[in-house]
Amino acid sequence: DDAKPTNFLRGIIERDLLEGRYRGRTFGGSPGDGAHHAKGVADPARVRLRFPPEPNGYLHVGHAKSICLNFGLARDYGGVCHMRFDDTNPEKEEQEYVDAILDAVRWLGWSWDAHGTSHLYYASNYFDFMYRAAEYLIETGHAYVDEQTPEQMRANRGDFATPGTDSPYRNRPREESLARFREMRDGLHADGAMVLRAKIDMASPNINLRDPAIYRIKHATHHNTGDRWCIYPMYAYAHPIEDALENITHSICTLEFEDQRPFYDWVLERIVPILRAPQYEAGRKLVEAIEAQGLEAGKEFALHCHNLAHKLFGSEPEQRMLSMFRRWEHDREAVLKDLPAFFGLLRQHPEQFTPLLAHALEERRIEPYNLPHQYEFARLNLTYVITSKRKLKQLVDEGVVDGWDDPRMPTIVGLRRRGYTPEAIQLFCERIGVSKSDSWIDYGTLDIALRDDLEGKAARAMAVLDPVKLRLTNWAEVFGSEAHREPCAAPAHPHRPELGQRSFSLGPELWIEREDFAEVPPKGFFRLYPGNKVRLKYGYVIECTGCEKNAVGEVTAVLATVLPDTKSGTPGADAIKVKGVITWVAAHEALAAEVRLYDRLFTDPHPDAGGKDFKASLNPHSKRVIQAFIEPSLAQVEPDEKFQFERHGYFCTDRIDHTAGQPVFNRITGLKDSWAR
């Protein structure tokens, strides 16, 4: 029943594959096989996608949707998905976030270390090319340096009802813009003094096309490029270039970017001549060959180039390439580690590889790539949840939660710590599908996926979360001694006998749930009240005889007698019919455990919709820590193990705080949906 539902993106990809739109030309084949290569050998058509987070925070469940979508489409259509950091904005980006993001994507089940499936890239490795493309735009009359103040620029942009006003700098000579742009690069101007803008149309009804900024001055240290740059490209300009340099076929993003698509295309169309310069094509083809077919194919191609060019590898990058191919034989790990930096170099400085690659490209008549195309899908909106890194960061910074991995957080690390499994999150993402219109997904959908995943996997156990003593007053009479212990057993999993049995024992004193006793039973109450019989799960039938109370009238112990010959699994056990079965843990062997009961973080199903103050609807009861008793079979469990506590729901030992000596469990979710209240 979990057959992959089709969606509009699958439709587009299938059409494109059918039309051979992304068919490449291979470098493969034996060297010297000239005729073969002159025509070009059709590659299997290949979709190329990417997941491009900005390393400015931890990933959340919304990103999981995008991750599963992009990596999943690549897997399903035999393509590739690049793990790419969109790290073009130095101020908010940090190595901590880079590491956390890689960890989260890996944990969700995707990888980029393996050959041919995915590779890791950093947009900041393309800064040289982006700069070069910007100069090219200036040279061809498509960009200018604007020296208006930010206030003037804002005022002159107009709004939805009013067209913008041209900047007085708009028609300055190209040489002047170029000189200014180089001064910007060389650090001669302060932040905000001027910007490079695309020259499009100040009257466009699409405000994104009113001469958008493409480069700005920012004297800031970048986590990857350090202080090498003091100008940085704007996202809307950088993104299409990143996609094109990586030969992305389908650039999938969320609906907010729909109005940016014309600019995405505008940029690429303008820079086609340099994107398609033979050496760039060849560089990208080489990278693709290595990505798709492993280093062997790249090596073959490089050696072919080498032969063609009738010369040794001369330039520094060429030598580096050669040494890489040599090391490949005996030190694959190290070579694989070097690849991203090498690819970055190749992508943005292919001229250093000429005439080698250009020559080879011509020889093989490799066709240029089609330009990438942007498609938009509806972002994930989950009820009771905030999916904005900025707002989540606020909760962390202000101490509202205990960190990015607080089990109440919708971050991947938070979900993981809470006990959600990668399989459950993947299942959830498959089930919600993708569409072109925004909607809200009920949080319960995620929990249903979790239960569907854990139902068959999680071992069962008994735990008493709100304990009150139960005393079996006729124990010695029935079993001969107060010290007698009656062994009991239960399956680790009701439908998986191969997981074996858990064993525990019954004694005269037990812990039971406080709510399982009522001195005066409400209507329809089948559990303990004076005169009523219930079964102790996996044990005996008992009959309640009363209770003990303290001075303020609280029940301190429930009293009952045990009925001989009624033990579960023994002949005649069913002779006495009861309507209630209760869970328990024997006092003599119960383990004390800290249990953290989590509830939704917000009381409003749409905490930040329509610009609402999301902190106004924080749920004051989102975390409750209790002391519980758990059955002895849980004495040695490792951190991050999942269980179903019978009747209570799914629980997980805390990844960070749990030890066998001091058990800590998190409630992942209950057994039934409680979200759609």
Does position 414 interact with ligand ATP (CB under 6 A)? The reply is no
- CA–CA dist 566, 576 (Å, integer): 8
Region of 384 on the Ramachandran plot (φ > 0 left; ψ -120 to 50 alpha; else beta)? left
Q: How many residues bind ligand ATP (CB under 6 A)?
A: 14
Q: 254 is in the binding site of which of ligand ATP, Mg ion, none (Cβ under 5 to 8 A by kind)?
A: ligand ATP
**Which one, 54 or 442, has the nearer CB to Mg ion?**
54
CB of 342 to ligand ATP, least distance (A): 25
Helices 278-293 and 295-309 cross at an angle (nearest 10°) of 140
Q: Over the range 191-214, which residues count as b (16 or more CB within 10 Å of their CB) and which as e?
A: eebbbbbbbbebebeeebbbbbbb
Among 95, 149, 307, 388, binds ligand ATP (CB under 6 A): 388
CB atoms inside a 10 Å sphere around CB 147: 16
Q: How far is the CB of 300 from Mg ion (least distance, A)?
A: 39
Residues 345-384: x where in contact with ligand ATP by CB under 6 A, - otherwise, as a string: ----------------------------------xx----
Minimum distance of Mg ion from residue 618's CB (angstroms):
22
One of 170, 218, 320, 379 is an active-site residue; which one? 379
612 part of the active site? no
In whole angstroms, the minimum distance from the beta carbon of 54 to Mg ion comes to 5
What residues numbered 53-72 form the site for ligand ATP, per CB under 6 A?
53-54, 62-63, 65-66
With CB under 5 A, what is the number of residues at the site for Mg ion? Answer: 1
Q: Give the residue with the Cβ less far from ligand ATP, 56 or 148.
A: 56
387 binds ligand ATP (CB under 6 A): yes
Give the CA angle between residues 605, 606, 611 to the nearest 5°: 155
* Residues forming beta bridges with residue 643, ordered by sequence position: 459, 651
Q: Which of the residues 229 through 268 are near ligand ATP (CB under 6 A)?
A: 253-254
Q: Of all residues in this chain, which one has the CB nearest to ligand ATP in the complex?
A: 62
Tokens of 394: 């606020």
User: Distance between CA atoms of 204 and 165, rounded to whole angstroms?
Assistant: 11
- Read off the tokens for 206: 């699409």
Q: Which does 52 bind (CB under 5 to 8 A by kind): ligand ATP, Mg ion, none?
A: ligand ATP
Smallest distance from Mg ion to CB 608, Å: 12
Identity of the residue, 432 or 562, whose beta carbon is nearer to ligand ATP in the bound complex: 432
DSSP-derived secondary structure for 125-186: GGHHHHHHHHHHHHHTTSEEEE-S-HHHHHHHT--SSS-----TTTTS-HHHHHHHHHHHHT
Instruction: Candidates 47-55, 103-111, 298-306, 555-563: pick the segment binding ligand ATP (CB under 6 A).
Output: 47-55
Burial of 439 from C-beta contacts in 10 A (0-12 / 13-18 / 19+)? exposed
| C-beta atoms surrounding 493 within 10 Å | 18
Please indicate whether residue 299 is annotated as part of the active site: no
Identify which range of 54-62, 93-101, 198-206, 436-444 contacts Mg ion by CB under 5 A. Answer: 54-62
In the complex, minimum distance from the CB of residue 399 to ligand ATP, in angstroms, rounded to a whole number? 20
Binding at 454: pick from Mg ion, ligand ATP, none (beta carbon under 5-8 Å per type): none
Instruction: Return the number of the residue (24 or 52) whose C-beta is nearest Mg ion.
Output: 52
Cα separation, 360 vs 37, in Å, equals 11
Contact 280, 345 (CB under 8 A): no
- Integer Cα distance of 537 and 491 in angstroms: 12
Amino acid at 249: T
Q: Is 54 one of the annotated active-site residues of the chain?
A: yes
Give the catalytic positions in this structure: 54, 379, 389
Please report, as ranges, the residues that interact with ligand ATP according to CB under 6 A. Answer: 52-54, 62-63, 65-66, 253-254, 379-380, 387-389
Please report, as ranges, the residues that interact with Mg ion according to CB under 5 A. Answer: 54
